Amino acid sequence: MSRAPLSFYEFFAGGGMARLGLGEGWSCLFANDFDAAKAATYRANYPDAETHLVQGDVWKLEPADLPGRADLAWASSPCQDFSLAGGRAGLAGGRSSAFFGFWRLMEALDEEGRAPRTIVIENVSGLLTSHGGDDFAALGAALAKRGYSFGALEIDAAAFLPQSRPRVFVIATRQAPPAHLVGDSPFRTRAVRAAAERLTPELAARWIDWSLPAPPARNTDLAAVLEDDAQVAWHDPSRTAAWLDLLSPLHRAKLEAAKASGRRTVGGVFRRMRIEDGRRVQRAELRFDGLAGCLRTPRGGSSRQVVVVVEGERVRTRLLTAREAARLMGLPDSYRLPKATTTALHVAGDGVAAPVVRWLAERLLEPLLAPPAALAAE
């Protein structure tokens, strides 16, 4: 006998990447995003969006806009105020205050007896340390006040995809978790442990050490997601030379080693500001570890990474394409991207890596939310 789909609300939904990761065993009751381009992308990829997607400010939503009682509320709230690339304003920041627009709805649902059984809040790793950990503690206090126990996992998408993208997932529940979901995890990082140790005794009593195993070893690298050389536009030699002229001696040595290997070597090149002899100097740095750097949105930093390909003495550079960025987020090539490249990169760079969501759902959320009878049958 098949199990009924689990239901969820998706806040700050973007292009629906959390929904994609949760998969077909989940039913979306409601989705929301303020950004018109992201909402259009969501509609393009989910034909049923007109029945549940509400575009607009989360602060203007009312509890009546959220149908039924969802098993899960997923919130990938704006992260710029927690990000190292932003101003680190914390929960008081203008964008991250959108979290409270979401949270007031959870409080209202609780008053109506419709609070979701589980909540997942996804954000950048800076959430753990923002304002000396006070913001994370404030988040925990808000959850605890409404009867939730909680824990956090720091998961780098590099465990699943060839992109370095560490993110924090706070998982909160109103029910006692099964024993097999509590314990050690490779995703309970030093930063997570430190955040837990800073909690007050009252909040520490609400803490859960979630157990989530590591996935099988990743078998793809950056080269595997790139489009064919003939299908992309390469920089002219002078532009490539300008990038290479910014290399420090250390990264120049990396380039020379790649040339000497005689193999096709694919990597990324990034601009960085460094202090040298007391002066700020712009440098280019190479990455040849098979990973792309963390995709970013135009507001958060460089929206387009630069790919470098070394084949003997031949060195070429070009911009990462929108489709390649989508692949780095675990999106299938059937996923419909906006036609404008900058918009497509914004949607991809501001999303959540779908394979990370799937792993979390399969190994933690679904067992947590499954009825006891279903667990016994398994």
Instruction: Give the catalytic positions in this structure.
Output: 79
CA distance 321 to 32: 27
Rounded distance, CA 337 to CA 41, Å? Answer: 7
**Which residue, chain included where needed, has tokens 């964008």?**
95
C-beta separation of 129 from 192 below 8 A: no
